[in-house]
Amino acid sequence: MISLIRSEIYKISKQSKTLYALAAILIIEGFVIMSAYYQGAGIIDLLLDNLKDSFEFRGNLLNGNLIIYLILNSLWFHIPLILMIIISGFLTSEYKDKTLETVMLQPVSKLYFILSKYIVSIVFTLFIVLILAVTTFFISYWIFGYGDLVVYLDGLNFFKSDDAFYRLIYAFLSGSITMVFFSVVSLTLAVILKDATKTWIVSAIFLICSNLLLKIDFRNEVINELFFSKLTDSWQYFFYYEIPYSTIYFKNFMLLGYSILVMVIGVLIFKRRDIQG
Amino acid sequence: MKGLFFLSIFLIGLNQVCAQEIDNDLLQIKKRMDSIKSYDAQIKLDVDISFINMPSKYGKVLYKQGETTKVTSEDFIMLPKRGLDLTLNEIFKYPFITVNRGEANHKGILCKVINLIPTSSKSDFSIATIFMDTKAKRIVKSEISTKMEGVFTTYLDYKNYADILPMKIEVEFAVNSVKIPLRFLGKETEVDRKALKQEGSKTGKIFLTLSEIKIVK
């Protein structure tokens, strides 16, 4: 099992798609930073427009913490989309290149093989989120400096710089669980669909639907609390003025449960299916 | 002849109105405030607006005669546009007349109430009501109707009877709900426009607490 994991890690490190993923993340960061640099002051102005009649403002809200928050919001769509495309490719490329058949000719357990794929996918996801977080914090603070964070969530919430720093770190940690869920789903879709293009399309549709369903009120408390799409926003809860820790723990715990369930489904399908490209 | 007589009476009356003096108690208070050459103090700011969550902010307030009051802080702070003019310089910037409105009770203190009506179009307020504690020679409440920024009501609390500067200042004002740029939204991308319209303007308050006040006379 460990040798399979090592071999998967080696494959990923040698594949160009890993570099593409890292490049895509840096490009997203670059775009957010550029747009914040040129339009950030305008956004803040618009946000505080109605308060200008009564208040004078001292201090800079267009700072590193705000930029990190804006980049963090790429966890809604951009980052999971990139992850789903790359990770599904871990398996679909093996189907396409028929390397899977070659591997299966070796004395390799199908269970361990697919499990190693899932494990490496999770590790890769966590690595990408870590890279995103580290580069975001470093670049944002370097260019924009420190300062209070303002977020619109149930009103205008202002956080002191050090408080914002911890909230942003926790949000990245919580967001990584959501990213793991989407990665596991994409790998399971790859198991089911085998074909790269089909998997990308279905993964993108899954992500879009998940985002849309998050905003729909099902008028049923159980569905509203337990449906998977309702659990993918836990990282945003760190920006409520009073952090609802119990909600965050619940959502993350449930989402981990869903991830395991999806993984089990993928493993069972892979085990029972004949390996054919 | 009769017309000339009435015209003379009218002109004399008009002259009396124009020459209306500024309330003596207000002048006394202004004179007392003018005795301050400079002051500095630590300041704590708390905001009470329904749609704003902000922790207590700390800073330093500095005043030098002939200059505007400055507030500095390492944090982002929101200062009310009115309420920090403790030396009454902004009010006295342009000429005005005062009208005595009698007496009123404010927090157990019998206060003299006057209206300030600017006589210059340059003045940024249209009318102000001042509640003066004439015995302690200080202002305890003011309502300033500005031309552009709405009405600001300021309550000033003093620690000791002899204190010239307040320890607590509460500024009340009307404030409109925020406009939200969609791209900036976090979790809730939907905007309840109806609710926003219905909300209209709300009353906001800001509390300023001064400590370690150092006055140079």
B78 with A55: Cβ contact below 8 A: yes
For residue A277, tell me if it sits in a domain: no
For residue B10, tell me if it sits in a domain: no
For residue range A17-39, list pLDDT tens digits in order.
788 888 888 888 888 888 877 87
Range of the domain at A25: 2-272
Q: Can you read off the two tokens belonging to residue B169?
A: 């200042």
A59 with B190: Cβ contact below 8 A: no
Q: pLDDT at residue A47 above 90?
A: no
Number of other CB atoms surrounding residue A67 within 10 Å: 26
Report which of A165, A167, A179 is spatially closest to residue A131, judged by C-alpha positions: A179
Q: How far apart are CA A88 and CA A142, in angstroms?
A: 35
For residue A95, tell me if it sits in a domain: yes
A58 with B173: Cβ contact below 8 A: no
Q: Which chain A residue has the Cα nearest residue B152?
A: A54
- CB contacts under 8 A, A 130-159 vs B, are 147-148, 150-159
- Answer yes or no: is the ipTM higher than 0.85: no
Best residue of B60, B183, B187, B197 to probe chain A, by most A CBs closer than 10 Å = B187
For residue B210, tell me if it sits in a domain: yes
The CATH number of residue B84's host domain is 2.50.20.10
Q: How far apart are CA A267 and CA A91, in angstroms?
A: 13
For residue B9, tell me if it sits in a domain: no
For residue A210, tell me if it sits in a domain: yes
For residue A177, tell me if it sits in a domain: yes
Q: Can you read off the two tokens belonging to residue B83?
A: 């309420």
A50 with B75: Cβ contact below 8 A: no
Q: How far apart are CA B43 and CA B127, in angstroms?
A: 29
- CB contacts under 8 A, A 7-26 vs B, are none
For residue range A161-208, list pLDDT tens digits in order.
999 999 999 999 999 999 999 999 999 999 998 888 999 999 999 999
Q: Which of the two residues, A127 and A43, has the higher pLDDT score?
A: A127
Output the pTM of the full model: 0.82
- Which pLDDT score, from 0 to 100, does residue B194 have? 54
Q: How far apart are CA A110 and CA A104, in angstroms?
A: 7
